[in-house]
Amino acid sequence: MDVALLFPGQGSQTVGMGRDVYGASPAARRLFDEADRVLGFGLSRLCFDGPEEVLTRTENAQPAIFVTSLAYLAAAGETGIVRIPDGVRFMAGHSLGEYTALVAAGALDFDAGLRLVRERGRLMQAASGAIPSGMAAVLGLDEEAVAGICAEAGVEIANYNGPGQIIISGPKAALERAAEIARQRGARRVIPLNVSGAFHSRVMAPAAEGLRPLVDAAGFRPARVPVVANVTARPIITPEEIRAELREQILCPVRWHQSMEYIIGQGVRRFIEVGPGKVLTGLLRRIDPGVEAVAIDSLAALGQLVS
């Protein structure tokens, strides 16, 4: 059966992530040790032991999730649960997770991807510090209604996550105004997100400018498995397509709902989320309750799939 692999984005980090697989999988251990060497500090210890307030900083959270996700994928490869490209029809990653997907698909080396992700996180943290801003989940309104509210309040749609769940992003005062309007117009809930700034909005323009030359200089190869892009919800394979995607991704909304519908429309019925948390499998079940969606977010979860 064809499978799609999904990789989570920022917000899925938790202290202790990856510790179990580091102790059990030689392939996973090699990735964590290599990450410590490349970055020049103990990212592995930060993942395993915290402190939480340091781990959740954007410049740390992004490489931490990236490495942990690839470590679980490496462990899954050792067991034979996942063999790339055999049986893997598509990959997709939510925001940061798109970089993880590109490394998993063979389009970018691990070391180069890790450096890009670390710099992406640093640039996003800096842009967030320059303008007080944030994000919020709007539940229970359709896309047209949320788009109208964003235009009125001066914020932007950041993520189309699934039916009735859209994330908005922008400066703090405008975001509060948008939340107030959304409640007045029937939103079931408006939930502020615990992030450092307005990701996937104009607030990230300085980060996009800083990241662009690094993306252009990165040594991309054709992906062995198509990666369904956040910006277009369509597959990308060539280095030119990948660079065009990553230049825009940090500013544009993540079309996750549309990406999942595209993959399902190609006949894929089995999805495996690889990395900390189970957010993407939860979203997928809302998009199509009929698909099979499992998560490899721990050694125990991997063991259940093996058995």
Q: Which strands, in side-by-side order, build the sheet including 133-139?
A: 156-162, 165-171, 133-139, 189-192
Q: What is the pLDDT of residue 263?
A: 98
What confidence score (pLDDT) does residue 5 get?
98
Q: Of these residues, 95, 133, 196, 201, which one is catalytic?
A: 95
> In which residue are the tokens 């502020």 written?
192
Q: Domains in the chain, start-ordered, CATH in brackets? A: 3-129+202-306 (3.40.366.10), 132-192 (3.30.70.250)
Q: Which residues of the chain have pLDDT under 50?
A: none
Which residue bears the tokens 């409640």?
183
The per-residue pLDDT for 194 is 86
Rounded to whole angstroms, how far apart are CA atoms 261 and 238? 22
**pTM of this prediction exceeds 0.95:** yes
Is 257 one of the annotated active-site residues of the chain?
A: no
Distances (CA, A) of 237 to 1, 42, 91, 103, 115: 22, 33, 11, 12, 21
Residue 109's pLDDT is 98
Which of 94, 169, 200, 259 is an active site residue?
200
